[in-house]
Amino acid sequence: MRVAILGCGYVGLELGRQLTAAGHDAVGVRRSEQGVEAIESAGFAGVRADVTDADALAAVPDADAVVFAASSGGRGAAAAREVYVEGLETAIDHFCGREDPPDRFVYSSSTGVYGDHDGDWVDEETPVEPTTEKTEVLAEAERIAVERPAESGVDGTVARYAGLYGPDRYRLARYVEGPVTEGYLNMVHRDDAAGAVRYLLDSDLAHGEVVNVVDDEPVSKWAFADWLAEQCGEPEPPKRTVEDRLAEEDLSETVERRLRTSKRVSNGRLRGLDYEFAFPTYREGYRAAVDAYLADADGAA
């Protein structure tokens, strides 16, 4: 199987490594030369192309599956629309319009599309209720990713990621030092974010479906911070309620809505497809980061 990974960044690089290790042919696509070098350093082929440019995508070879993992770089709703809607449409039309189109198109989305559920559980059957302009764009992109490939006889799948963490993205200081604002964390380790997509492609599952890619245990930020501090041999960090945070800082409307958004995301569908997590919870996923923290503390003593 040849898989083209468009926007081959943090998760895409790991996906390419896993596909290559499983005997598949991965091709990563980035718009910068530096990005292509990172792909090649990860051990698979890289192509320089902008995913929003159909002419540039002509340089990408035919593939059995295409994974759209491009990022808007943390910018606002306008930039998100340019990548997640316009870029996605361009990529779908380009690859699905080829003489030898892919069998599968996978789009990576975010559990942010659920909006606020006051801490209640949500799953793939829960209606999405985006609370920001950016998550409204993501919800629109999900619909496009399922419906538009189907017009060409290609199966579309949405991998809806929870908060990503892993190498270079543990952010221990944020929780160990605090202050920590209340709410729930829905997380997935980078290796499982990539592993779930690799599994779906390898086992040919979830055609035309949305699948939450999140670990087994959503956790309150306060409980997580206390656990992490205890593991690192540090005192419990200071904590704030959402109202405390709003009173302390002049926050934008977007940030305020994000702070008031609380939910717990179920991975029942992914588990039901028999995917086995490398890091089922944050306890296993943060082990390497905690060990590194303790080693640094010993070295500084």
User: Is residue 250, in this structure, part of any structural domain at all?
Assistant: no
In angstroms, the CA 117 to CA 85 distance is 26
Segment 29-76, tens digit of pLDDT: 999 999 999 999 999 999 999 999 999 999 999 999 999 999 877 667
Length, in residues, of the chain = 301
- 152: domain CATH number is 3.40.50.720
Task: List C-alpha distances in Å: 126 to 33, 100, 180, 299.
Answer: 41, 36, 28, 49
Q: Are the C-beta atoms of residues 265 and 114 closer than 8 Å to each other?
A: yes
pTM score > 0.75 for this model?
yes
At 248, the pLDDT band (50, 70, 90 cuts) reads confident
Q: What is the pLDDT of residue 74?
A: 64
Q: Are the C-beta atoms of residues 183 and 131 closer than 8 Å to each other?
A: no
User: Is residue 144, in this structure, part of any structural domain at all?
Assistant: yes
At 301, the pLDDT band (50, 70, 90 cuts) reads low
User: Is residue 71, in this structure, part of any structural domain at all?
Assistant: yes
Q: Are the C-beta atoms of residues 102 and 153 closer than 8 Å to each other?
A: no
User: Is residue 260, in this structure, part of any structural domain at all?
Assistant: no
User: For the chain, how many structural domains are there in total?
Assistant: 1
User: Is residue 41, in this structure, part of any structural domain at all?
Assistant: yes
3-state helix, strand and coil shares in percent for the chain, rounded to the nearest 5? 45, 20, 35
Domain boundaries, position 270:
2-167+187-215+266-279
